[in-house]
Structure 1
Amino acid sequence: MLIALQDITFEFGARAIVENASWHIVPGDRVGLIGMNGTGKSTILRVINGEYSVSKGSVNKAKNLSLGFFNQDLLSFESDESILKVGMTAFAEAIKLEKDIERLTQELETNQSEELLIEFSDKLHLFETLGGYEMKHRTEQVLEGLGFSTTDLERPYSQFSGGWRMRVLLAKLILQQPDVLMLDEPTNHLDLPSIEWLEKYLQSYNGAVIIVSHDRFFLDRMVNKIVELYQQQLHHYSGNYEDYEVEKEMRREMQQRSYENQQEYIRQQERFIERFKAKASKAAQAQSAMKRLDRLERVEQVDGGPSKIRINFTIDKTPGKIICTLEHVTKKYGNLTILENASAIINRGDKIALIGANGKGKSTLLRVIAGTEEMEGERIPGHNVVDSFYAQHQLESLHLDSEILDELKSCGSGRTEVELRSLLGCFLFTGDDVYKKIRILSGGEKARVALAKTIISQANFLLLDEPTNHLDMNSVQMLIDALSKYDGTYVLVSHDRYFVSQTANKIWEIVDGEIKEFRGTYAEWEEHKRRQAEVLKQQAAVEKGQKKEAAPVVKQQEPKAPIDKDKKKELQKQQKQFQQLEEQLAKLNAKKADLETEMNNPEVYADKARFQKVEAAYTQLSKELKSATEEYEKAFEKLMELEG
């Protein structure tokens, strides 16, 4: 056990963040800590880090435990040292030893006493043990993995923007290799290649990792547990985010069924009490029934979950078949070439995701398409095209003295106040928040207002630059749902792979100054890239004379009789296995039906221990059924393949 939170309660003033919550963190844990914005996820990390003290319960940590906490507060760090030196401070003890070794080397030139030689030998051994000889190389490796070029490594830390500084500090934290690594929204500061690098690095990380993130793809690939902060409790789920969604829905269904059955039981008991409480012969039984109801631990009704926005886009004009044409476009910043003689066509109905590493010019290309960026070449807008451009740095269009609700009303969308307030709720503006002045909002809040305005605009062509920044998972899903109903065309830039996978039917990349188009979804593009990498790998192997697959294996298979006999044997084996799986599935489904019948019995809820036993059995059986179904489907596919 690395960390144990035992029945903790933590409050900010009168507001409870958690009440009587427990959580045990063990070696090998990869935990996604999730919850709605504002519920206190970052606060829980600070409790673990020792920055806040709990008002009740205990926080116990293993002896000599090292903790690393990556969070926004790190930006207060300042330095004029190169980013390589800042990263290398992760090896503080090795650096100190290196200076001691230099001093001892100089002393040994004039004094070669046995005592000095032993000290020198011991320090050399410890330096090696601490990774001193590899610290420069490892720091370079991690910084370059997070997107820095080799020439960047000697640039002063102070010259970099906030997002790039956060990458340096993330690199330093990773290199320290703490027993428990806590990451608060790490992907906010990374582009796609850097996120993919971080995933690969953390998958082989020796310590435990706790991640707060709104990036579903990242959580799906990284975590083996989910802890949800919900209604002041920590709810534990095994598996990744996708598994969490399935299990949570199952828990909700079971809780709702439990609630309904318990309510029926309560009604029966109340009718019995009402009927017989005045009769002397039944009074004792009525009193017992009243006591049972008083002792009954009430099951709460399932809440409605996050609100779902149902606002359809309205398009004022139908555009022509071609939305925009770029011909022979060149764009340079000094010696940096973004586009060179690039051409592209955006057709009506295109849903384009523009992806790639930071610094490749994605936002510049969006501005070229919008006609707000000077360039060489030609941009030809289509007929009847009405565009709307959302970008976080283009917030000057907001009226600073307007209230948020009035800002949306001024768009002329024709939406009612109820609809506008519902939309603002999805962007985390609830209650009296809608009356706040734009002037007092933070940068992230202004960005959310601007995005809400974009959604209710009557444009038939949207340009969206990182629209999911500052949104929680439910708001991202709301935006996905809204875009899925949008009849217009859009080009978006995003590093949120789940968002891209749900919204794009074309992928654009800027490669060597050209716009490369892939017609298909993000998943199809990933598979295409994987195949390309395999081909390149095989070509490289051929060039080095290392390809081992050239042996004439196919010709040796030619006598067909033995192969057919083996195939027949394999087919019989597969048919037998398939039959066994069918019987297993039938038994599991029968057990499930029996448990559901038992759970529908109101008397079960009068006995808490019995109910918990039945509920646990149902959860376990559902997991077994899911696993058996997956095995059955694989066996069926194999059988079809053999029979074909």
Structure 2
Amino acid sequence: MLVLQSITITTPKGRVLLRDLSFSVQQGDKLAIIGEEGNGKSTLCKLIADPRILLESFVVEGNIQRDQLPIAYLPQQLDESELSRPIQDFMMRDETGNVDYGKFAEVKRWLGKFNVLPDDHRFEEPLCNFSGGERIKIQLARLMTMRPGLLVLDEPTNDLDIPTLKWLENFIISSELPILFVSHDETLLTRCANRILHLEQTEKKAVPLWTYVSMGYVAYKDARSLHLQRQTSLSRKQKMEYDRQIEKWRQIYQKVEHAQATISRQDPAGARLLKKKIKNLKAVKERIDGEEKIKKPDPEEAVTLYFNDHEDVYAQRCLLDDELGELRIKDRCLAHHLELKVFGKARIGIIGNNGSGKSTYLDHLYRSACRKGTRVAYMPQNYERLLSDDQSPVEYLTITGTKEEKTSIMTYLGNLKFTEEEMRQPIANCSQGQKAKILLTSLVFSDADLLILDEPTRNLSPLTLPVIETMLKMYHGAMIAVSHDRRFLRNLTSQRFLFDVNGLHDITSDERILE
């Protein structure tokens, strides 16, 4: 179906994103591409979908072989011109710009199959009027009318609520087409992937690595963990052996050097012998240093982030006591009869349909907590609301400007795999995953007793999520989080609410929602 041979992609600035990448996609493959933001996942998807997209700005080497059937591509984000197009125009306009009305029956069939068939009058509405889940279904319906041989889906899970995530899982699993997809959703990866392509950037992002395996996500995670443990153990043993040899060499060298310094001038033969020994010892040192070293692994999951020790908030302390008759945007009522009380170390998760108003509600709760006098920190879904594009990560995180604070900030960012160059570059140049890490670091420095988080894991590699989970589990205060990440909700929330137009509904006891 699709074969890539020795693909190397280099950015305009000379950074190698991918080197000598080779793999194939065959019938029945559900290939998941994983890795941190900025490692080349979307770039690879674009190359597979249409090499012309990349050739204008990247240097691409290698060969791609594909069948004659079209490759259908769902981008990570549609541009504004696409979002503003009416559904009818979006679904039926071909590459030449003409609307093919002959496709109308097939378009309606696929929209109906995906349970997103709009009323006739809504065919004239722009795509931006539909929810995130509806947009994904509409885009997939459009792709299926192309009768493709391969689907390439770049982050299709972004902005999806849990029901639509489950629908997407069923679509991927049941589809007869081979599907290549990028996702950070661990539950979807676990259920859908039967092949894994893992893209990494190691050694301060100077050395790209890739791993392709014919196994599911959980099996790959386990195999990778075992491999990293073995490599770490071998590296440690080799380092111990190296230190032992160097110490032995040093002791011998010092003895010979001392003998050379104290030998009598009346013993020239002995001096020549000692000089020869020194030369031989230096050769031994070069041989020891020249032996191939087993590198200590530098995996993407080797990140650290933690809150400083802090006394836990009293269980009876009320951090938020909010009642809201109506939640509105302009003249639209999003929800009414909203009540929420937060005490001590509460861990509250909120779910709900796309576009229902959850983010607007979190904005309200943040303001309410501030009015109450609670020390609160907020991580919005739209990072640009807090981050300034022209500031560097270090500048954004700086409060006092002391040398000690700067050192602490750079240490935290370094532990999150930021290079020094990335710490000092404008935030505008950072990936979405890096922006998420900057905001998570700001939570650590905030000294807040209440965290309000809007989709905190949506741009993070699934392999780094255990670190974030551990960080939040150890947090001394309370947390309110809107999330559709089922692993996050299972592992980190003890209370869960469904948000809809009638308010908040306690669904903590209904574990089926998180299946």
Query: How does the TM-score come out when normalised to structure 1?
Result: 0.61
Contact 2:490 2:514 in 1 (8 A): no
Query: Is 1:225–2:229 an aligned residue pair?
Result: no
Of 327, 337, 343, the match for 1:341: 337
- Indicate the percent of aligned positions where both proteins have the same amino acid: 23
C-alpha distance in 2 between matches for 1:210 and 1:159: 26
1:407-464: per-residue Cα shift (whole Å, max 9, x none)?
A: 3230799974343223324666421322335577788766653443223211111111
Contact 1:316 1:459 in 2 (8 A): no
1:353-372: per-residue Cα shift (whole Å, max 9, x none)?
A: 11111122212322332235
C-alpha distance in 1 between matches for 2:439 and 2:514: 35
Tell which has more relative contact order, 1 or 2 (C-alpha 8 A, sep 6+).
2
C-alpha distance in 2 between matches for 1:7 and 1:399: 39
Q: Which moved more, 1:258-267 or 1:82-91?
A: 258-267
SS of residue paired to 1:176: coil
Of 178, 195, 215, the match for 2:148: 178
Contact 1:463 1:491 in 2 (8 A): yes
Per the TM alignment, residue 150 of structure 1 is displaced from its structure 2 partner at its CA by 5.0
Aligned residue in 2 for 1:568: none
C-alpha distance in 2 between matches for 1:324 and 1:367: 13
Contact 1:90 1:172 in 2 (8 A): no
Per the TM alignment, residue 60 of structure 1 is displaced from its structure 2 partner at its CA by 1.7
How many residues are paired up? 460
C-alpha distance in 1 between matches for 2:91 and 2:447: 48
Letter in 2 for 1:189: D
Query: Is 1:311–2:300 an aligned residue pair?
Result: no
Aligned residue in 1 for 2:2: 3
C-alpha distance in 2 between matches for 1:186 and 1:76: 18
- Structure 1 residues 564-579: aligned runs within 5 Å: none
Task: Indicate the structure with greater helix content.
Answer: 1
Per the TM alignment, residue 30 of structure 1 is displaced from its structure 2 partner at its CA by 0.4
Query: Is 1:39–2:34 an aligned residue pair?
Result: no
Structure 1 residues 26 and 386, CA gap change in structure 2 (3 angstroms): same
Contact 2:30 2:172 in 1 (8 A): no
1:469-525: per-residue Cα shift (whole Å, max 9, x none)?
A: 4433355443222111102001011222222222211111124512111336xxxx3
C-alpha distance in 1 between matches for 2:164 and 2:208: 34
Query: Is 1:30–2:30 an aligned residue pair?
Result: yes
SS of residue paired to 1:339: strand
Of 228, 246, 250, the match for 1:252: 228
Per the TM alignment, residue 143 of structure 1 is displaced from its structure 2 partner at its CA by 6.5
Contact 1:426 1:475 in 2 (8 A): no
C-alpha distance in 1 between matches for 2:382 and 2:199: 32
Contact 2:29 2:194 in 1 (8 A): yes
Query: Is 1:421–2:410 an aligned residue pair?
Result: yes
1:99-121: per-residue Cα shift (whole Å, max 9, x none)?
A: 5xxxxxxxxxxxxxxxxxxxxxx
Aligned residue in 2 for 1:588: none
Aligned residue in 2 for 1:517: 506
Of 204, 219, 223, the match for 1:243: 219
C-alpha distance in 2 between matches for 1:439 and 1:8: 28
Contact 1:193 1:356 in 2 (8 A): no
Q: In angstroms, what is the RMSD of aligned CA positions?
A: 4.4
Contact 1:387 1:459 in 2 (8 A): yes
- Structure 1 residues 289-368: aligned runs within 5 Å: 300-306=294-300, 307-313=302-308, 318=313, 320-327=316-323, 329-333=325-329, 336-368=332-364
C-alpha distance in 1 between matches for 2:477 and 2:402: 16
Contact 1:4 1:61 in 2 (8 A): yes
Report which of the two structures shows the higher radius of gyration computed on alpha carbons: 1
Aligned residue in 2 for 1:187: 157
Of 99, 114, 118, the match for 1:142: 114
Aligned residue in 2 for 1:210: 180
Contact 1:402 1:438 in 2 (8 A): yes
Query: How does the TM-score come out when normalised to structure 2?
Result: 0.74
SS of residue paired to 1:239: coil
C-alpha distance in 2 between matches for 1:36 and 1:204: 28
Ranges in structure 2 where 5+ consecutive residues have no aligned partner: 201-206, 249-283
Per the TM alignment, residue 268 of structure 1 is displaced from its structure 2 partner at its CA by 13
Aligned residue in 2 for 1:87: 91
Letter in 2 for 1:193: P
Structure 1 residues 203 and 426, CA gap change in structure 2 (3 angstroms): farther
Query: Is 1:154–2:123 an aligned residue pair?
Result: yes
SS of residue paired to 2:304: coil
Query: Is 1:66–2:70 an aligned residue pair?
Result: yes
Per the TM alignment, residue 256 of structure 1 is displaced from its structure 2 partner at its CA by 5.0
Ranges in structure 1 where 5+ consecutive residues have no aligned partner: 100-130, 272-289, 373-378, 531-644
SS of residue paired to 2:475: coil
Per the TM alignment, residue 133 of structure 1 is displaced from its structure 2 partner at its CA by 4.7
Contact 2:34 2:182 in 1 (8 A): yes
